[in-house]
Amino acid sequence: MKSYLEKLRSRRLAVTPQRLAVLAALETLADHPTAERIYQEVRRQIPAISFNTVYKALEVFCQKGLVTKVNPLHEIARYDKTIEEHGHLICRGCHRIIDLVWNPPPLTSLSPETLNGFLPEHQRLTVWGLCRSCQESQNIKED
Ligand SMILES: [Zn+2]
Ligand SMILES: [Zn+2]
């Protein structure tokens, strides 16, 4: 609990039991949980907490750089306790998001011609595919 306290204080955020519980849930649910999943986990400790409170805490954490948001296109936001630059492997079978500790070379080093005049500001590698267990079970939900 102490490190969660320090995390909040380092970002000048008021320490509340709700915020502490949300941070703890993010730590417990290692696999890039949705706000809904975090809410379910926090409710085990604070049954009276509302979804909105959990959601607002997550958004504040994102603004303050305590967590990051993974936004695969056309999907519900997933939250990430890892704020260091890293890529994601997204399984199209079970929708698991796996951290990839490897970063491609920055696009800013490419010529403007190659980039079609696009000005890159932030890049994060996202790769879709099938995780090991989905390959093994062949249990693929096509959508
Ligand atoms: Zn999978
Ligand atoms: Zn991640």
Q: From the CA of 139, which ligand is nearest?
A: 1
List Cα–Cα distances, 136 to 100, 129, 139, in angstroms. 21, 13, 8
Span 79-104, pLDDT tens digits: 999 888 899 999 988 889 999 988 78
Which residues are in the CB-under-5-Å shell of ion ligand 1? 91, 93-94, 96, 131, 134
pLDDT of 73 higher than 70: no
Span 15-57, pLDDT tens digits: 999 999 999 999 999 889 999 999 999 999 999 999 999 999 9
The pLDDT value given to residue 70: 86
Q: Which domains does the chain have, with CATH numbers?
A: 2-70 (1.10.10.10), 84-137 (3.30.1490.190)
Q: From the CA of 79, which ligand is nearest?
A: 2
> How many angstroms separate the alpha carbon of residue 138 from the centre of ligand 1?
9
> How many angstroms separate the alpha carbon of residue 127 from the centre of ligand 2?
12
Inter-residue contact 67 to 61 (CB < 8 Å): yes
